[in-house]
């Protein structure tokens, strides 16, 4: 049950009314039925509405202690409901079952909240239909779903994934038996999925464009690196290079990613681990054109690592616009303009989650030179950051120069060309500060000399906290260009999410095509992550997927074991000392209201219910309480008829929909999990109830 708010306008005034509603099952599916009107509950907070509904539901289920004096409101509502439904809430004495409360226990807990949200957003993006159109079988679509969901919720290797799948509620939600799934099927599926990546990304980009009303006028492009564990000898792209993960000791690949202004990925590409940023742009634009046709007038936003003339010419040759951050040598020529006047402050609003936040001051100034527009930016918060970075790099450079000088003095390095190469490597390793030092080798005293260029160093200090934007668009103002460039941080956020909650790194695959498919699955999971966070943002919830995932972990499916000392009738046979097992969903703690109501597992969120379950040999029990279930009974003395019914039920569970290749079967009957399916004629005196959620357990 839950409380719903309704509004009615009469003679220019709005009147609010709150009604108590319950979900009921009908032949046409789940429906909502009005129980009674509660009047006006305002200004009571929303959380208390839910608490009232739960108390009423529990009281109607027989928990009389809730009708104490301090719960007079609940008692009044319950009395009103019972008057409207006479006899419905009364339980006959013959139907009551005595339970040993000290022996009640729960078992087979499976996480349902994050799994169900992941499956719902998979369906919302239409990924199953996309995979079907490119020719993947039902089994392949199912494997792609579970592997992507694992990456979104509990990232692990393909070797450990089958165990996680069986510990989760995927079997309950999808109605599929994963008891025979093995890691080999998952590894082989990586091989199958690899050649389909381009078609999937292209179809998914089009689906998100229509579903979320995404624009195609801005493309944000950046690169990162991800490293390997092991030598990766069978992957020609695995090489050592500049590591963004601070792991220069490991081989790596470079990952390029293009997203739109709303944060949804459009294309990605895997490059050699030693590729320089400036050499990736042409190839990335080709990959992007395969997924999203490029049209004249669109804008490509890139960082200063790709702000070279040949790259800008490549963008213009495709009739596209560019917006880049100029490199430091070009910025240094604008020192006089940065020290001048004419800057305007950018109005920056604080975060909705922190209204008292004070964002650093940012000032911008527009300068037009020929066909290009330059935006000079000054940020008060960047001054100390730039100086700290330069100071740290300078300390490391000086330490390495001292080591090199000692090697030369002690005769450890003799050849002049080798000494020159060592100096060149230091300049390449510390480009931020090497430009401010003059380094040379003097062959006569055999010594390495270095000194700071005071003029250049002073100019760098004067330019701390400044950066220069460059674009060929003439329709942009200074603040508009700055805000457009700042969108590039969304790509950095995407890399951060892929590396942390989605655990893209480290990579343990050694085959090139499996490495690329592993990263592709991370990108697919990121599509779901962005869709979830966009939904939260639309509902004014400014939070991240990691926080939501942790809150959803409390939403689980479990089995409640109720030992009894009385018999239970089943098919006209008496079962002595039966044990009742009810499998259903527990309520999540907090944060449920963050997502729309249809995104949650409730009474109808699990497979194997209603007519489908009854057709496979399961029968509604009418178990007392707020939920419902299916039963099976077998115990000594029940006779051959009960054993035959049990055998038919088990056979239906085992054979439903047949078996599927590579050790995976599907079932459409009642929920059966690995280890829970019992053989016919088992003499343990138990009764099993599975299927829909039993709320309140």
Q: Does residue 453 share a domain with residue 439?
A: yes
Q: Does residue 103 share a domain with residue 70?
A: no
Residues of the chain with pLDDT > 90, as a percent, come to 45
Residue 651 in this model has a pLDDT that exceeds 60: no
Asked if residue 608 lies in contact with residue 691, where contact means CB atoms within 8 angstroms, the answer is yes
Q: Does residue 586 share a domain with residue 570?
A: yes
For the four alpha carbons of 232, 238, 241 and 246, in that order, the dihedral sign comes to: negative
Higher pLDDT, 588 or 30: 30
Q: How many CB atoms lie within 10 A of CB 444?
A: 5
Phi-psi region of 685 (alpha: psi -120 to 50; beta: other; left: phi over 0): left
In this prediction, residue 577 carries a pLDDT of 54
Asked if residue 86 lies in contact with residue 92, where contact means CB atoms within 8 angstroms, the answer is no
Q: Provide the 3-class DSSP secondary structure of residue 87.
A: coil
Residue 670 in this model has a pLDDT that exceeds 50: no
- Rounded to whole angstroms, how far apart are CA atoms 490 and 596? 25
- Rounded to whole angstroms, how far apart are CA atoms 136 and 201? 15
- Rounded to whole angstroms, how far apart are CA atoms 323 and 413? 46
Q: What is the pLDDT of residues 243-260, one digit of tens each?
A: 999 898 999 999 999 999
Higher pLDDT, 81 or 282: 282
> Residue 254: what are its φ and ψ, rounded to 5°?
-100, 135
Q: Does residue 560 share a domain with residue 691?
A: yes
* Residue in the block written with tokens 């003799």: 414
User: How large is the average pLDDT for residues 569-577?
Assistant: 47
Q: Does residue 671 share a domain with residue 575?
A: yes
In this prediction, residue 49 carries a pLDDT of 67
Q: Does residue 83 share a domain with residue 15?
A: yes
In a domain, 379, yes or no: yes
- Rounded to whole angstroms, how far apart are CA atoms 521 and 530? 14
DSSP state of 4: E
> Residue 273: what are its φ and ψ, rounded to 5°?
-65, -20
In a domain, 64, yes or no: yes
Tokens of 236: 């020609």
Q: Does residue 460 share a domain with residue 362?
A: yes
Nearby residues of 551 by Cβ (< 8 Å), 6 or more positions away = 113, 588, 589, 590, 591, 594
In a domain, 26, yes or no: yes
Residues of the chain with pLDDT > 70, as a percent, come to 77
User: How large is the average pLDDT for residues 600-618?
Assistant: 34
Q: How many CB atoms lie within 10 A of CB 638?
A: 22
Q: Does residue 387 share a domain with residue 447?
A: yes
In a domain, 626, yes or no: yes
Tokens of 415: 């050849």
In a domain, 166, yes or no: no
In this prediction, residue 122 carries a pLDDT of 96
Order of all β-strands in the sheet with 466-471: 265-271, 252-259, 218-227, 299-302, 321-325, 466-471, 372-379, 362-369, 344-345
- Rounded to whole angstroms, how far apart are CA atoms 170 and 588? 17
- Rounded to whole angstroms, how far apart are CA atoms 603 and 23? 8
- Rounded to whole angstroms, how far apart are CA atoms 425 and 417? 12
DSSP per-residue string spanning 178-204:
-TT--HHHHHHHHHHHGGGHHHHHHHH
In this prediction, residue 648 carries a pLDDT of 31
Lowest mean pLDDT among 157-171, 478-492, 562-576: 562-576
- Which of the given ranges, 279-288, 349-358, 456-465, 639-648, has the highest pLDDT on average? 279-288
Domain boundary among 440, 458, 476: 476
From residue 170, alpha-carbon distances to 422, 555, 556, 657 in Å are 57, 13, 11, 17
Tokens of 318: 């495709």
Q: What is the pLDDT of residues 461-497, one digit of tens each?
A: 889 999 999 999 999 999 999 999 999 999 999 999 9
DSSP state of 252: E
**292: closest CA among 318, 270, 313, 317?**
318
Asked if residue 383 lies in contact with residue 464, where contact means CB atoms within 8 angstroms, the answer is yes
Q: Provide the 3-class DSSP secondary structure of residue 676.
A: coil
The enclosing H or E element of 282 equals: helix 281-291
Higher pLDDT, 628 or 588: 588
**115: closest CA among 144, 151, 64, 90?**
151
Tokens of 216: 């195609």
Domain hosting residue 677, numbered range:
94-112+555-697
Lowest mean pLDDT among 13-27, 288-302, 319-333, 626-640: 626-640
Residue 649 in this model has a pLDDT that exceeds 60: no
Q: Does residue 563 share a domain with residue 428?
A: no
* Residue in the block written with tokens 């000194």: 451
Domain boundary among 461, 476, 491: 476
In this prediction, residue 490 carries a pLDDT of 94
**Number of domain units in the chain:** 3
**544: closest CA among 503, 484, 591?**
591
pLDDT band at 588; cut points 50, 70, 90: low
**582: closest CA among 642, 622, 522, 636?**
622
Phi-psi region of 188 (alpha: psi -120 to 50; beta: other; left: phi over 0): alpha
In a domain, 191, yes or no: no
Q: How many CB atoms lie within 10 A of CB 488?
A: 18
User: How large is the average pLDDT for residues 150-176?
Assistant: 94
In this prediction, residue 232 carries a pLDDT of 93
Q: How far is CA 682 from the centre of its chain?
A: 43
In a domain, 270, yes or no: no
Three-class HEC string of 361-383: CEEEEEEEECCEEEEEEEEHHHH
Q: Does residue 575 share a domain with residue 459?
A: no
Q: Does residue 637 share a domain with residue 590?
A: yes
Q: What is the pLDDT of residues 9-57, one digit of tens each?
A: 888 888 888 788 877 778 887 787 887 777 776 666 766 766 777 777 7
Nearby residues of 629 by Cβ (< 8 Å), 6 or more positions away = 582, 583, 584, 620, 621, 623, 689, 690, 691, 692, 694
Tokens of 675: 């280890």
Residue 570 in this model has a pLDDT that exceeds 50: no
Q: What is the pLDDT of residues 377-418, one digit of tens each?
A: 998 888 888 889 889 999 999 999 999 998 988 888 888 888
Q: How many CB atoms lie within 10 A of CB 527?
A: 22
In this prediction, residue 62 carries a pLDDT of 57
Residue 506 in this model has a pLDDT that exceeds 90: yes
Burial 162-198 (b: 16+ CB within 10 A, else e): bebbbbbbbbbbbbbbbbebeeebbeebbeebbebbe
In this prediction, residue 99 carries a pLDDT of 82
Q: What is the pLDDT of residues 114-133, one digit of tens each?
A: 999 999 999 999 999 999 99
Summary mean pLDDT of the chain? 78
Asked if residue 676 lies in contact with residue 643, where contact means CB atoms within 8 angstroms, the answer is no
Domain boundary among 58, 90, 122: 90
In this prediction, residue 279 carries a pLDDT of 95
Residue 694 in this model has a pLDDT that exceeds 50: no
- Rounded to whole angstroms, how far apart are CA atoms 359 and 367? 25
Q: What is the pLDDT of residues 90-108, one digit of tens each?
A: 545 556 677 888 888 888 8
- Rounded to whole angstroms, how far apart are CA atoms 276 and 280? 7
Omega cis (within 30) before 506: yes
Nearby residues of 232 by Cβ (< 8 Å), 6 or more positions away = 238, 251, 507, 510, 515
Asked if residue 430 lies in contact with residue 424, where contact means CB atoms within 8 angstroms, the answer is no
Order of all β-strands in the sheet with 686-690: 105-111, 556-563, 579-585, 686-690, 630-634, 619-620
Q: Provide the 3-class DSSP secondary structure of residue 274.
A: coil
3-state helix, strand, coil in the chain (%, to 5): 40, 25, 35
Q: Does residue 559 share a domain with residue 468?
A: no
* Residue in the block written with tokens 């089958």: 162
**106: closest CA among 561, 520, 494, 506?**
561
In a domain, 458, yes or no: yes
Q: Global pTM?
A: 0.73
In this prediction, residue 528 carries a pLDDT of 96
């Amino acid at each position: 049950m839950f409380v719903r708010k309704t509004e009615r306008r009469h003679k220019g005034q709005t009147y609010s009314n709150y009604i108590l509603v319950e979900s009921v099952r009908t032949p046409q599916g789940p429906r909502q039925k009005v129980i009674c009107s509660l009047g006006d509950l305002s200004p009571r907070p929303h959380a208390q509405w839910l608490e009232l509904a739960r108390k009423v539901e529990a009281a109607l289920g027989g928990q009389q202690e809730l009708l104490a004096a301090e719960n007079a409101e609940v008692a009044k509502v319950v009395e009103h409901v019972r008057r409207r439904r006479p006899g419905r809430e009364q339980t006959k004495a013959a139907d009551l079952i005595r339970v040993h409360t000290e022996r009640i226990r729960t078992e087979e807990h499976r996480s349902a909240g994050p799994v169900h949200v992941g499956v719902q957003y998979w369906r919302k993006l239409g990924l199953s239909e996309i995979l079907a159109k490119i020719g993947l079988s039902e089994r392949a679509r199912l494997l792609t779903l579970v592997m992507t969901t694992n990456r979104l919720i509990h990232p692990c290797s393909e070797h450990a994934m089958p165990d996680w799948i069986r510990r989760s509620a995927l079997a309950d939600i999808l109605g599929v038996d994963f008891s025979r799934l093995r890691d080999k099927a998952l590894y082989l599926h990586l091989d199958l999925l690899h050649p389909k990546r381009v078609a999937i990304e292209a179809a998914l980009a089009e689906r998100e464009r229509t579903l979320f009303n995404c624009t195609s006028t801005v493309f944000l492009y950046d690169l990162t690196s991800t490293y390997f564990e092991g030598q990766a000898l069978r992957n020609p792209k695995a090489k050592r290079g500049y590591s963004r993960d601070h792991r220069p000791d490991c081989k790596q690949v470079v990952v390029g990613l293009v997203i739109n202004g709303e944060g949804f990925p459009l294309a990605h590409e895997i490059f050699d681990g030693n590729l320089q940023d400036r050499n990736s742009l042409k190839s990335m634009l080709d990959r992007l054109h395969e997924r999203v046709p490029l049209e004249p007038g669109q804008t490509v936003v890139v960082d200063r690592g790709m702000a070279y003339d040949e790259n800008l010419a490549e963008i213009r040759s495709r009739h596209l616009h560019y917006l880049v951050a100029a490199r430091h040598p070009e910025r240094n020529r604008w020192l006089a303009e940065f020290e001048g006047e004419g800057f305007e402050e950018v109005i920056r609003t604080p975060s909705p989650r922190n209204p008292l936040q004070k964002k650093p001051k940012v000032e911008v100034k527009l300068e037009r030179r020929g066909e290009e527009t330059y935006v000079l930016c000054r940020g008060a918060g960047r001054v100390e950051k730039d100086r700290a970075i330069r100071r740290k790099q300078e300390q490391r450079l000086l330490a390495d120069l001292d080591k090199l000088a000692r090697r030369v003095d002690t005769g450890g390095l003799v050849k002049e060309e080798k000494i020159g190469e060592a100096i060149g490597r230091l300049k390449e390793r510390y480009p931020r500060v090497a430009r401010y030092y003059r380094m040379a080798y003097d062959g006569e005293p055999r010594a390495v000399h270095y000194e700071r260029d005071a003029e250049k160093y002073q100019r760098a200090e004067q330019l701390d906290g400044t950066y220069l934007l460059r674009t060929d668009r003439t329709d942009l103002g200074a603040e508009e260009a700055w805000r457009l460039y700042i969108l590039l941080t969304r790509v950095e956020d995407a890399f951060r999410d892929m590396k942390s909650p989605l655990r893209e790194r480290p990579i343990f695959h050694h085959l090139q095509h499996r490495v690329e498919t592993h990263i592709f699955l991370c990108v697919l999971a990121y599509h779901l992550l962005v869709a979830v966070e966009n939904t939260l943002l639309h509902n004014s919830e400014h939070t991240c997927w990691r926080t939501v995932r942790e809150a959803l972990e409390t939403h689980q499916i479990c089995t409640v074991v109720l030992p009894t000392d009385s018999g239970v009738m089943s098919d006209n046979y008496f079962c002595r000392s039966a044990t009742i097992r009810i499998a259903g969903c527990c309520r999540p703690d907090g944060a449920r209201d963050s997502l729309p109501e249809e995104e949650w597992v409730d009474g109808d969120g699990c497979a194997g219910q209603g007519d489908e379950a009854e057709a496979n040999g399961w029968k509604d029990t009418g178990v007392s309480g707020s939920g419902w279930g299916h039963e099976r009974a077998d115990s000594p003395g029940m006779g051959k008829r009960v054993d035959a019914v049990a055998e038919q039920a088990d056979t239906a569970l085992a054979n439903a929909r047949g078996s599927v290749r590579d050790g995976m079967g599907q079932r459409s009957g009642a929920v059966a999990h690995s280890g829970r399916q019992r053989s016919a004629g088992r003499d343990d005196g138990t009764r099993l109830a599975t299927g829909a959620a039993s709320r309140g357990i």
